Structure 1
Amino acid sequence: MIRRGAHALAHLLTSLVLGPATFVWALLTTLVSGVLSFTYLAPPAFLLVTWMTRRIAGLERLRAALVLGRPVESPYSAPLRGNPWSRGRALVREPATWRDLAWLVLLFPAGLAGGLAGVLVGLVDLGTILAPVWLWAVPNPYLPPVVDWLFNTTGGRFVLTVIGLLLAPAVWWLVTTAARLQATAAAALLEPGPRQRLARRARELAVTRRRVVDAQAAELRRIERDLHDGAQARIVAAGMTLALAERKLRQTGQTAGADIGTARRQLDEALAELRRLVRGIHPPILTDRGLTAALAALAGDAPLPVEVRASELGDLPPAVESAAYFVAAEGLANAVKHAAAAACTITIERGGDTLSVAVHDDGRGGADATGSGLDGLRRRVEALDGTLSVTSPAGGPTTVRAELPCAL
């Protein structure tokens, strides 16, 4: 609570300083842009001005985030390309440019009103609480009797401290409310608007759809290659061996026991290959026994000690179960193959409508988050509107964490 009040008071204090500065900046840049709008230098000048304005708006988003207790999103689109003239003209058409400017203008009156009220009340209450520390240094013999007793006697000063402490909750509420109202207004202007959010979501979905299509195409190519080079080749070899054995029996009457044994071994290997391929598409244990049991089986087959920490997961969509399983499987495979880990922990838990799975190993770290395996996982997770993060500093440890929406 004290930290929150300190953030609110600091926000109001800095607003008193930043408000006039941003107002002057907005006024001067508007005048300069207006004068230059009739010249060939207008787009590059506007580009430079907007760059600085966005830095100031970014600072405002950070200040608002401290008060609101949540990140304040940036509304800007992808970096513009081209020459300064085309980029400057594009910035003029971007709504976020004018919303930033509007807040820089409004910060002056908003900071003045909320800042003066909150800061004065807060400082007066703080001074009242600390009255015994400083009032002795400023005696005033011309005060009325009651006030004179409070200000000029030790007992009265401690009474002021008690009064200040009693008023502290109301003062804290006033300061935090003033700061929150100001931060909320800043977020309303400096965050993406509804149309921007919709457009951004549409772009994200388009990118995710393309990545999913690419991932599915790559998966189909992998399955075709595994079938062609693995199981199919083994079955063909087994057929040829059986055909050779049949010819020997028919033509010469020779024993074909060795050939038949070879054919059986090839068929067993082909069956094992097909089972491995099926597990790579969707492990049957997920359908039969659920995600927790599948992870326990995965840990049991690993060549290093693996601890599975699982809470009550409830019913999960099959696609979410499959994605969580493959996140754990890929993280464990990386720990074995690349990290030289001695132990690994798989943690899976459900919080509301979000399923989180984390694979932590004590290996040497340095995992490449853009590698083919992790990138394929990211695409699988993003297809379900989830997120995947990889933390792997040099020297370790490595943590692969996925969060998946799991509402049925």
Structure 2
Amino acid sequence: MVRRAGRAVAHLVTSVVAGPFVFAWALATTLVSGLLSFTYLAPPVFLGATWVTRRVATVERLRAGLVLGRRVEAPYGPAPRTHLWRRGRALVREPATWRDLAWCVLALPSGLVGLAGLIATAVDLGLVLAPAWLWSVPNPYLPAAVDWMFNTVGGRFVLTVAGLALAPVAWWIVTTLARAQATVAAALLEPGPRQRLARRAAQLADTRRRVVDAQAAELRRIERDLHDGAQARIVAAGMTLALAQRQLGGQPAGAEVATARRQLDEALAELRRLVRGIHPPILTDRGLVAALAALAGDAPLPVAIEAGELGPLSPAVESAAYFVAAEALANVVKHAGASDCAVTIACDGDLLTVEVRDDGRGGADPSGSGVDGLRRRVEALDGTLSVTSPVGGPTVVHAELPCGS
């Protein structure tokens, strides 16, 4: 109780002292920013004033946190790294800027309300310590009813007893006013419900992005281990069996060795298909455009690849774009009856677009299992996938992926 009362009194004292200065600062900066709003001095002046106001608000959050017993978070988003005018416009649009200003305006009346708590504390302490100081200010003109309390030793100790009895009341007044001030400050200076929800959504998106990147890295590791480990051992075993077959010649065991070698070749081909299904090695070695070109080269129909400058892409986005094109081409070959196909890939700002168009018979089911699997892969990266396939064609598979995912 003593610690809470001390914090509350310290909070009220600093509020009374700082309130007028903070209010004057808000009034002056608002007036100056308004007068200079049509000049080239407006951005630097506004940015400087906002910087100072946010430092003052940070101190107030610390003070409020001490009274409330919890951390009061800062609501500010990352500052854009651009020229002064855009930074100023970004700060003007940010709700936290105006909430800070509202707190600065309320600092003065809030501090004045806190005077009631300080008066209650001073009166109660004066009563408790009456025997120590009241003798130094004798007053012969007091009414007879209270004269003995102020001018006699026994009466002063009665005031001490009264002060001790009223201490809980003074403690309640002080702590309630300090907590009310801190609650108002926290409500204005910490993130609101919508901002908390937006932050949580951003945290979840970042967590999901890290999980997807970790999964892509793990798939690349599995592909590399299969390519450099199991696949190399199978090739070595096939070479050993080929040598053994050559040494056995026409002996009866030669036929069994030939059968084992054929089965090993089939296992190697299956392993290579598995590796390409996990993560094509060419995608890691040469990039997305080269991987799509290799995919087009293996297709039994003409496939045109149209690609612009893509820039650096995250492994998860690169892999998703490749498998969208690969699955769409596989469906063209199996079901479309097309004679021509085109794959277009482009990066516009923060959005990677993949489009596969064929001149087949159309009528593809947009909710099929293959398309649904691709849609889940794309949506895991905050992307979208659409399939347009009227009867008679053409069929267009269009995917959009955020490049930063």
Shorter-chain TM-score range: 0.5 to 0.7
C-alpha offsets along residues 202-242 of structure 1, whole Å, 9 cap, x if unaligned?
22222222111111112222334445555666787788889
AA aligned to 2:11 is H
Aligned to 1:157: 156
Cα distance in structure 2, aligned partners of 1:169 and 1:86: 54
1:244–1:161 distance in 2 versus 1, CA, 3 Å: farther
The Cα of 1:137 is off from its aligned counterpart by: 2.4
Aligned to 2:80: 80
1:17 equivalent in alignment to 2:14: no
Q: Which runs of 5+ in 2 are unaligned?
A: 254-405
Aligned to 1:38: 38
TM-score by length of 2: 0.57
The Cα of 1:160 is off from its aligned counterpart by: 1.8
1:200 equivalent in alignment to 2:199: yes
Cα distance in structure 1, aligned partners of 2:167 and 2:233: 81
**Does the CA contact (< 8 Å) of 2:8 and 2:178 recur in 1?**
yes
1:48 equivalent in alignment to 2:43: no
Cα distance in structure 1, aligned partners of 2:7 and 2:165: 21
Aligned to 2:93: 93
C-alpha offsets along residues 337-362 of structure 1, whole Å, 9 cap, x if unaligned?
xxxxxxxxxxxxxxxxxxxxxxxxxx
Q: Secondary structure at the match of 2:108?
A: helix
Cα distance in structure 2, aligned partners of 1:106 and 1:131: 36
**Does the CA contact (< 8 Å) of 2:131 and 2:156 recur in 1?**
yes
1:168–1:227 distance in 2 versus 1, CA, 3 Å: farther
**Does the CA contact (< 8 Å) of 2:103 and 2:189 recur in 1?**
yes
Equivalent positions of 1:268-279 (< 5 A) are none
The Cα of 1:12 is off from its aligned counterpart by: 0.8
Identity value in percent: 74
Aligned to 1:213: 212
Aligned to 1:397: none
1:182 equivalent in alignment to 2:184: no
Cα distance in structure 1, aligned partners of 2:180 and 2:130: 30
AA aligned to 2:78 is A
1:219–1:145 distance in 2 versus 1, CA, 3 Å: farther
1:133 equivalent in alignment to 2:167: no
1:239–1:128 distance in 2 versus 1, CA, 3 Å: farther
Q: Which runs of 5+ in 1 are unaligned?
A: 254-408
AA aligned to 2:74 is S
Cα distance in structure 2, aligned partners of 1:231 and 1:68: 62
Aligned to 1:168: 167
1:131–1:243 distance in 2 versus 1, CA, 3 Å: farther
Cα distance in structure 2, aligned partners of 1:222 and 1:113: 65
Cα distance in structure 2, aligned partners of 1:180 and 1:164: 23
AA aligned to 1:29 is T
Aligned residues: 253
1:232–1:153 distance in 2 versus 1, CA, 3 Å: farther
Cα distance in structure 2, aligned partners of 1:142 and 1:233: 110
1:234–1:105 distance in 2 versus 1, CA, 3 Å: same
The Cα of 1:57 is off from its aligned counterpart by: 1.0
Aligned to 2:67: 67
1:2–1:241 distance in 2 versus 1, CA, 3 Å: farther
AA aligned to 1:61 is R
Root-mean-square deviation (CA), in Å? Answer: 2.8
Cα distance in structure 2, aligned partners of 1:224 and 1:42: 57
Aligned to 2:109: 109
1:139–1:81 distance in 2 versus 1, CA, 3 Å: same
**Does the CA contact (< 8 Å) of 2:23 and 2:104 recur in 1?**
yes
TM-score by length of 1: 0.56
Cα distance in structure 2, aligned partners of 1:137 and 1:242: 114
